[in-house]
């Protein structure tokens, strides 16, 4: 599943193709993905100029000069293809720029989404309404975490996966950040002192930024020719490494919780 770093790299790649460009043709090739594609999406985007691109959590944002924003989510298997040689059944939205470049949103499992919202009303877009701060932004601070975690008895891992507390963090990056910050995943959120919270904020940024850097800077790097959406960094510290050595010399353990696995090191994570 594309996580925040993959979405960030996608947005950076799309920026090189779309920024400042007029959209000559916009063609949805089906009526829905995870939910309906807005019926007026084609009309609102065709002829519009892209004035910027951005990201909120795992949503990509494409701003136009008509005051609209196209919001895309890659779901489980989505990716943008650049100047595809052929169009297949899983290419659900085609965009051709006035400069002659073509983009295709390809999503075999169709868990992704496409929405078009007035830019001024973005904060009212359903998924954004109760969303916490961006993990790479200044709003995620020690003060912020100390305030929202105060008195919380839930495990820190579950709290970090709660999009209302921090936006866009997935299981892999939470496991990695907790290992780097040496915090046990099951520790109650309210019992983590400020020095550890400082380490946690830094660890979250480090694991995400390392993954973004590993992703390269172009969409071509991102969308591998075989069409597989791989994670950029396969050298995780603990994720997927049960029984192997943690950098501290301890042995990585795995615990099933819900449908996910938690990977952690019982020796250094307290
Ligand atoms: Zn360890």
Query: Is there a catalytic annotation at residue 55?
Result: no
pLDDT digits (tens, 9 = 90+) for 181-198: 999 999 999 999 999 999
State in Å: Cα 248 to ligand 1 middle. 4
Mean pLDDT of the 15-21 span: 94
Pick the catalytic residue from 22, 205, 260, 267: 260
State the pLDDT confidence band at 26, using cuts at 50, 70 and 90: very high
Residue with tokens 């993905």: 33
pLDDT digits (tens, 9 = 90+) for 225-256: 344 444 554 578 999 999 999 999 999 999 99
Question: Which residue out of 3, 6, 8, 176 is catalytically annotated?
Answer: 3
Q: What is the pLDDT of residues 207-223, one digit of tens each?
A: 999 888 877 544 544 55
Q: What is the pLDDT of residues 54-79, one digit of tens each?
A: 999 999 999 999 999 999 999 988 98
Flag the least confident range among 23-27, 33-37, 75-79, 157-161: 75-79
Torsion of Cα atoms, 83 then 88 then 93 then 94, to 10°: 30
Q: Is 3 a catalytic residue?
A: yes
CA of 132 to the centre of ligand 1 (A): 29
Distance 197 CA to ligand 1 centre (A): 18
Work out the pLDDT band at 3, boundaries 50, 70, 90: confident
The pLDDT of residue 228 is: 44
- Which pLDDT tens digit goes with each residue over 88-126? 999 999 999 999 999 999 999 999 999 999 999 999 999
Cα–Cα distance between 67 and 120 in angstroms, integer?
A: 7
CB 106 within 8 A of CB 78: yes
What's this model's pTM, rounded to 2 decimal places? 0.90
Instruction: Provide mean pLDDT across the span 132-146.
Output: 97
Strands of the 50-56 sheet, one edge to the other: 50-56, 59-64, 68-73, 113-118
């Amino acid at each position: 599943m594309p996580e925040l770093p993959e979405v960030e790299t996608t947005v950076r790649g799309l920026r090189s193709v779309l920024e400042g460009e007029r959209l000559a043709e916009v063609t949805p090739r089906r009526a829905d993905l995870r939910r309906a594609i807005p019926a007026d999406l084609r009309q609102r985007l065709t002829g519009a100029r892209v004035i910027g691109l951005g990201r909120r959590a795992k949503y990509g944002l494409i701003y136009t000069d008509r005051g609209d924003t196209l919001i895309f989510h890659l779901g489980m298997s989505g990716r943008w293809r650049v100047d595809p040689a052929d169009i297949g059944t899983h290419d659900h939205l085609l965009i051709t720029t006035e400069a002659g470049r073509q983009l295709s949103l390809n999503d075999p499992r169709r868990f992704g989404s496409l929405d078009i919202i007035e830019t001024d009303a973005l904060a009212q877009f359903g998924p954004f309404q109760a969303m916490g701060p961006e993990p790479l932004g200044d709003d995620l601070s020690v003060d912020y975490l100390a305030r929202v975690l105060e008195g919380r008895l839930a495990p820190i891992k579950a709290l970090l996966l709660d999009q209302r507390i921090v936006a866009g963090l997935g299981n892999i990056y939470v496991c990695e950040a907790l290992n780097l910050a040496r915090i046990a995943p099951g520790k109650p959120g309210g019992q983590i002192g400020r020095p550890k919270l400082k380490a946690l904020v830094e660890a979250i940024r480090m694991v995400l930024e390392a993954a973004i850097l590993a992703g390269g800077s172009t969409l071509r790097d991102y969308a591998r020719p075989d069409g597989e959406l791989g994670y950029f960094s396969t050298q995780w510290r603990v994720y997927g490494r049960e029984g192997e050595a943690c950098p501290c010399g301890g042995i990585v353990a795995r615990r099933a919780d819900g449908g996910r696995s938690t990977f952690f090191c019982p020796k250094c994570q307290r």
